[in-house]
A and B are shown apart, each in its own frame.
Chain A
Amino acid sequence: MFKKFNIWYTSSFIISFIVAIPILTVFTSFFEDTSNYFEILKQTFLAEYIFNSFILLIGVLLLTFIIGTGCAYLVSFYQFPGVNFFKWALILSFAVPPYIYAYSLTAFFENYGTAFTILKHLFGEANYNSSIPKFDGMFGAILSLSFSLFSYVYILTRASFYYQSQSLIDLGKNLGFSKTKSFFSIILPSARPAIVAGLSLVAMETLSDFGAVSFFGINTLTTGIYNAWTGFDDLAFANQLSFYLLIFILAIFILENYSRKKARYHSQTKGGFKQKEKTKLNKSNSFWAFAACFVVLFFSFIFPLSQMLYWTIIFPKNFFDLKIFDLFTNTIYLVLLSSSALIIFSFITNYGNRVSRSKLLNILTTFSISGYAIPGVILAVAFITFIAWFDNTVISFFELKSIKKLFIGSILGLVLVYFIRFYSLACNGIKSGYEKINRSIDESAYLIGYSKLKTFLNIHVSYLRNSILLIGMLISLEVVRELPITLILRPFNFETFATTAYIYASQDLLEAAAVPSLCLIMIASFFILLTSKYILRDNSE
């Protein structure tokens, strides 16, 4: 069949290409040679960065695995007071970005911090500082990231437990397995693909984290790239680091894809789905299950929220000084612009893929969604580098008007980089929705005389309404929490809750950072509550 010029094909090709640009930039600038400013020290730096990234990764993976699967197991298999509440409340931790968690942790445990105040009120004046544990440095970063990210593991593992076949568990019972044995030899192994998928997401977020890690002053590959690039203009070293980071991430990406495929396979074989019976716990076990879930909810959500509330209350001036309305409109403005752009264009590429069935386009789409794997801070700098390069070579060659102002420090540029960063989220979401619509529906539509556009608008869009809502919420959540891209690319006189919180914190005014942090947590919680029904889909299927 001849492939004629096709508007769907062309537009989805262009979108995928644009999203792929930063990755191409990182690789092509690999050959540029710049300064040898710190030549002697580079090898020690490199070893330190890799070591720190590795330790951070291992620590976070271990903690999120334990917390995530533990909670998922409890709420999926047991009946105890509050289980239905915890089921969704545990996702609230998503509302607290790692950097805000880091602020709370420091504020509470530092010398003469909140913990000190509490102890003093309870037991009177004394030097409690030496007996208060200090959660800073690497340990602080591991805690901040783990409590903020464990939800990925929790959500995916819980879904997998939910669809686990009852007969498999019955089998264990018939074989006389104890609860522990059947957990380790049946339940956990069969949920492995989901756990690995959750952990891979955690790993990507951990490796690309900038806010929490830089707050605790840990040199990881991500902060190293940022410093080499911005501080020393040492593109060569930055690229060397990026290369290592991308290898880390690529390995995880492949692992994730692989296990996702398996997860799909697994859930398809479940055959007749049978509602699992939850084990009713006796009184003391109920208490322990409740306590475990509560502790997790407390540390992941209530603790940072209370610390921020406490500050807002004792330093009310910060609340009244902040231009909350402006920050709110700016934040929501970005949310609306980027989520609508992402959803519309993901629809176009997915539809283009569907109608054209082109291999090339498929590959390009796959390639372009890896934007999510590139740390935001690197994406932002790569974007600036690319625009500057493009402007200096192509645009000035044709003697056109400079495009830098259009893209750097403008809403357009900001939304474009959000687009690149969160494209995979939108694209994959729409794609998985599309996979459920049988192609024969399209063909039937064409047969009764529907045009492609009409098929798209009347059939696909209405079919995918729920997916769109869910994706919109997820993107909104990401945009509200997003920090490095906004910080680097935002226009003059434009702040969001995230940038305001960060700026105060970097000025050592953590208590002033409380109000914007609190607002951010509230907005994010709102989005989570709206979405929770879709994330924890039990009753809908």
Chain B
Amino acid sequence: MKRLSILSILFAFISSFALAAEVNVFSARHYDSDIQLYEKFTAATGIKVNVVSGKDKALQKRITEEDADCVGDLYITADAGRLGAFQAKGMLQRAGWSKAIKDSVSNNFRSAQWVGIAKRARIMYYSPERVSANDLNGMTYEGLSDPKWKGRVVIRKHNNIYNQSLVASLIKNNGKTATATWAKGVVANMARDSKGNDRAQILAVAAGEADIAVANTYYYALMLSGKKGAEQQAAAKKVMPFFPNQQDRGTHMNISGAGMLKHSPNKANAVKLVEFLLTKEAQEHIVNNTFEYPMIAGVSPNALVPGADLSFKQDLKTSVKSYGTKQADAIEMMKAAGWK
């Protein structure tokens, strides 16, 4: 009886993959709003979207071990560093992105294997009471190691992918030796041992534990939106966002993106899903739910996001592809500098 039921479940499960029109997504980006988008896609095209979400590394491991039997088509994750690293392991394939995709996403936010679907910037937040305009004049990521910030900086741990990608971009621009020295300087300036998520860094500045924090743009908007409660909304108003490196290459940009898995069985449907995610309708849905920046032109970010008018200078010179290639060096450098 029992075995029978297991068998029947098994059949039900396997046969669910035999349906014709579908696309299988392994997602490390598990917003409910993404699921709503997939439902819209299904309604519009009749293609069913199957999702398994989880932490990146576990998903990647599962995809790698399943290898040729992996039914996944797309791997969707935040951060180009993760996509790049996964590509380096040979787990993605040339996707054959359609012209529509190539036209809407500029070259430095995509590769042949993966493509950005939304953008975010890693910026600084400061206390207007304790940091003067003069202090911030011409402020850069490089400037975080300046001794004038001693005991005033908060930033999360070295194992965080956003930090790894930021440091990778610094290695790409300034070289290994300079970045190693820089990392030591940043660690010396920290107000406390690194801990907590990006939002906790912003809160630390609001609470007076530190004067300047590094965090992604959407966290600040999330706090301002009131979705995290009235206290955090009030706390967010106590800090100001600042876009660094405006006088040189621009602010560090990153993406949420989708990679085409090596053994994708529904490649054409996967391309269709990505095309859909890059439509105006989908982009508007994304920017208003996750507070990221749109990937395509003609869509405005949510008004709560810092730099919502997109007037700040984005670093479009440093390709996000380098985040993956320089990742190992970045980790090693931070670790060697004693970055928690």
Query: B219 touching A112 by the CB < 8 A rule?
Result: no
Q: Which DSSP category, helix, strand, loop or mixed, fits chain A's interface? A: helix
Q: Given A112-B235, A230-B60, check contact A405 B71 (CB 8 Å).
A: yes
Q: Complex Cα distance A37/B231, Å?
A: 44
Q: Which residues of A contact B335 (CB under 8 A)?
A: 41, 44
Q: Complex Cα distance A487/B253, Å?
A: 30
Contact with A along B38-59 (1 / 0, CB 8 A): 0000000000001111110110
Name the contact of A511 in the complex, choosing from B2, B62, B228 (C-beta under 8 A). B228
Name the contact of B159 in the complex, choosing from A217, A344, A411 (C-beta under 8 A). A217
Q: List 8 A-B contacts (CB under 8 A).
A: A38-B331, A112-B231, A226-B57, A321-B32, A340-B2, A388-B65, A404-B69, A493-B51
Query: B206 touching A492 by the CB < 8 A rule?
Result: no
Q: Complex Cα distance A136/B69, Å?
A: 41
Q: Which residues of B contact A136 (CB under 8 A)?
A: 195-196
Query: B55 touching A506 by the CB < 8 A rule?
Result: yes
Query: B31 touching A507 by the CB < 8 A rule?
Result: yes
Q: Given A116-B231, A341-B2, A404-B66, check contact A492 B54 (CB 8 Å).
A: no
Q: Complex Cα distance A314/B2, Å?
A: 44
Q: Which residues of B contact A340 (CB under 8 A)?
A: 2
Asked if A410 lies at the interface with its beta carbon under 8 angstroms from chain B, I say yes
Asked if B203 lies at the interface with its beta carbon under 8 angstroms from chain A, I say yes
Residue of A nearest to B197 (CB): A508
**Number of contacts between A and B (CB, 8 Å)?**
144
Q: Complex Cα distance A476/B53, Å?
A: 24
Interface size class of A (residues with CB under 8 A): 35 or more
A493 → B minimal CB distance (Å): 6
Q: Given A230-B60, A492-B24, check contact A37 B66 (CB 8 Å).
A: no
Tell me the B204-256 residues at the A interface (CB within 8 Å).
204, 206-209, 219, 222, 227-232, 234-235
Query: A492 touching B199 by the CB < 8 A rule?
Result: no
Asked if A137 lies at the interface with its beta carbon under 8 angstroms from chain B, I say yes
Asked if A491 lies at the interface with its beta carbon under 8 angstroms from chain B, I say yes
Residue of A nearest to B5 (CB): A337
Q: Given A231-B57, A409-B66, A507-B30, check contact A492 B203 (CB 8 Å).
A: no
Query: A314 touching B53 by the CB < 8 A rule?
Result: no
Asked if A6 lies at the interface with its beta carbon under 8 angstroms from chain B, I say no
Residue of B nearest to A215 (CB): B197
Stretch in B9-17, B104-112, B271-279, B310-318 touching the partner: B9-17
Tell me the B80-116 residues at the A interface (CB within 8 Å).
89
Name the contact of B61 in the complex, choosing from A38, A381, A412, A492 (C-beta under 8 A). A381
Asked if B20 lies at the interface with its beta carbon under 8 angstroms from chain A, I say no
Query: A127 touching B229 by the CB < 8 A rule?
Result: no
Query: B89 touching A37 by the CB < 8 A rule?
Result: no
A142 → B minimal CB distance (Å): 15
Tell me the A88-147 residues at the B interface (CB within 8 Å).
110-113, 116-117, 120, 127, 129-130, 136-137
Q: Given A491-B52, A492-B51, check contact A406 B10 (CB 8 Å).
A: yes
Q: Complex Cα distance A457/B9, Å?
A: 27
Q: Complex Cα distance A75/B199, Å?
A: 43
Q: Which residues of A contact B9 (CB under 8 A)?
A: 411-412
Q: Which residues of A contact B195 (CB under 8 A)?
A: 136-137, 217
Q: Complex Cα distance A507/B78, Å?
A: 11
B92 → A minimal CB distance (Å): 16
Contact with A along B289-300 (1 / 0, CB 8 A): 000000000000
Asked if A233 lies at the interface with its beta carbon under 8 angstroms from chain B, I say yes
Q: Which residues of A contact B52 (CB under 8 A)?
A: 409, 490-494
Q: Complex Cα distance A499/B52, Å?
A: 11
Query: A491 touching B207 by the CB < 8 A rule?
Result: no
Given contact pairs A219-B159, A408-B66, enumerate 19 new A-B contacts (beta carbons under 8 Å). A110-B196, A111-B200, A112-B234, A217-B159, A217-B196, A381-B61, A385-B65, A388-B66, A405-B14, A405-B71, A409-B52, A487-B55, A492-B16, A493-B52, A503-B30, A507-B30, A508-B197, A508-B219, A511-B227
Q: Complex Cα distance A468/B9, Å?
A: 25
Q: Complex Cα distance A37/B335, Å?
A: 14
Q: Which residues of B contact A409 (CB under 8 A)?
A: 52, 62, 66
Asked if A227 lies at the interface with its beta carbon under 8 angstroms from chain B, I say yes
Residue of B nearest to A117 (CB): B231
